Structure 1
Amino acid sequence: MEALFWLVLQLIDLYVWALILSAVFSLLTSFGVLDTRNRLVWTVGDFLYRITEPALRPIRRFLPDLGGIDISPVILILLLKALQIFIGRSLAPMFL
């Protein structure tokens, strides 16, 4: 059972890193540093978009318009870290 909790915590960490990479990729693309006409760049961007957008879309629906600033990744990272703390401190000791 301990291995299952460890795996869930590691998967949450990987998803947080995917969110960070997606935000950085989005910034680099919008400033013209990365060219999405390049097939590799487009593939990486599409992959990051597909794995992060389903979780970010509901958060964006509730946020007010901030004039082009997207803070939904920050909110999702905070929620995921809170979930990690909850799992690590509340759920895991009950089952171990």
Structure 2
Amino acid sequence: MFVLANFLLAVAKIADILLTIYMYIIIARAILSWVNPDPYNPIVNFLYRSTEPLLSRVRRILPDLGGLDLSPIIVLVAIYFLQSFIVRTIYDLAFKMKLGAGVLQ
């Protein structure tokens, strides 16, 4: 059972790290939207390609606010929720398994 618990801890840690990295990428993209960066810059191109698929889906759901783009804030809140609920739940489940308390108690 400890092997599965260690696996779940590793999955939770990797998910937490990946979500944190994506959060910083979203923040960098939002800051870049305040200036007029060179779209041919490889870093700017990477930021746009890595964030636009998710941000465009959120923009389709949100009402038009006349040039105010709230999609990065919505995505950041969703990432925070995933980190606080899903990742924390996996951590707690793994620690319970390690302590031998059982999953169904």
C-alpha RMSD of the superposition:
1.5
Aligned residues: 88
Using the size of structure 1 for normalisation, the TM-score is 0.82
How is 1:1-96 mapped onto 2 (pairs within 5 angstroms)?
Answer: 1=7, 2-29=9-36, 34=37, 36=38, 42-96=41-95
Tell me how far 1:72 sits from its aligned partner: 0.1
| 2:35 partner SS | helix
Distance 1:4 1:78 in 2: 21
Listed one character per residue, the Cα deviations across residues 20-76 of structure 1 (whole Å, up to 9, x for unaligned) are 0001111111xxxx4x17x5xx22111100000111111100111111010000000
Tell me how far 1:88 sits from its aligned partner: 3.3
5+ residue gaps, structure 1? none
5+ residue gaps, structure 2? 1-6, 96-105
Tell me how far 1:94 sits from its aligned partner: 1.7
| 2:34 partner SS | helix
Query: After TM superposition, which residue ranges in structure 1, 4 or more long, deviate above 6 angstroms?
Result: none
Higher relative contact order (CA 8 A, sep 6+): 2
What letter corresponds to residue 71 of structure 2 in structure 1?
Answer: S
Tell me how far 1:89 sits from its aligned partner: 2.7
Tell me how far 1:18 sits from its aligned partner: 0.1
Which has the larger Rg? 2
Which residue is 2:4 aligned to? none
Higher helix fraction: Structure 1 or Structure 2? 1
